[in-house]
Amino acid sequence: MANTRIGVVGCSGRMGRLVLRALAATPACTIAGGSEAPGSAAMGDDLGTLAGLGPLGMTVGDDAAALFSQCDAVIDFTTPAVSAAHAALAAQAKVAHVIGTTGMDEAQMAAIGRAATQTAIVQAPNMSLGVNVLLALVERAATVLDADYDIEIVEMHHRHKVDAPSGTALALGRAAATGRTVDLEAVAQKVRDGVTGPRRRGDIGFATLRGGDVAGDHTVIFAGEGERIELTHKASSREVFARGAVKAALWAHGQPPGLYAMTDVLGL
């Protein structure tokens, strides 16, 4: 694991810069390079200067394929279509790929699944170590608490987030559904408006809040008669996602081909 060469696609974005800083602070790896979409205003910028580290002598490029060819692992917080395309590059180069992008559709997930037959891919809607512990707790609680306990998932993110419910909220819903041995799509209630009638027994509800610069707050509520259990995770900084992604990249390098989750990385 020593001196694992890790690249960053989308390196000038909010998360990309945090990942660069997390890599620089991790002794077991080196920054192998960074890329952006052609035409990006960051093209040619020094990666270290971009991340507030001071010059590193490496500049932002626009050739993602070339970046994958020179890395042991690549970390990707971009967009769904771009991440799916990058997965194909990872498969071709036999390079570990860590995907923190959310909002994937079925076709994009299928493309990532195909790539994972050729290389190790870690995909998680949330790279925070704490959130992944929360996922395990929610599944366990849902196993113990039957449908007499209504499950509601409340999430809040910054005003710039474009998908809703968040990928993490959906993952928490899947964890709860797994605990109850039901299909999430059959019981999910993502929108309530107007006269909705009484709550259907066994539903898993979602509430989405957006505003300010909230990095990510998630609460899973088990509401029963006379008592309520709330499991909450609050991220005060996006740095937790960057550190988790670096941990995933170090773990994925050398793993056999497959589609992995952060629960695999953490041994949960």
Single-letter code of the amino acid located at 116: A
CA dist list (Å): 56 to 8, 32, 34, 62, 102 = 14, 11, 12, 18, 30
Residue of 86, 158, 160, 161 with catalytic role: 161
Catalytic residue at 97? Answer: no
Q: Does 157 qualify as catalytic in the annotation?
A: yes
Using CB atoms within 10 A of its CB, is residue 109 exposed (0-12), middle (13-18) or buried (19+)?
A: middle
Q: Which of 86, 157, 218, 233 is catalytic?
A: 157
User: What whole-number distance in Å separates Cα of residue 86 and Cα of residue 265?
Assistant: 21
Q: Beta 204-210 vs 150-157: how paired, if at all?
A: parallel
- 197: Cβ–Cβ under 8 A, 6 or more apart, which residues? none
Alpha carbon distance, N-terminus to C-terminus of the chain: 21
CA distance 21 to 4: 15
Q: Which residues are part of the catalytic machinery?
A: 157, 161
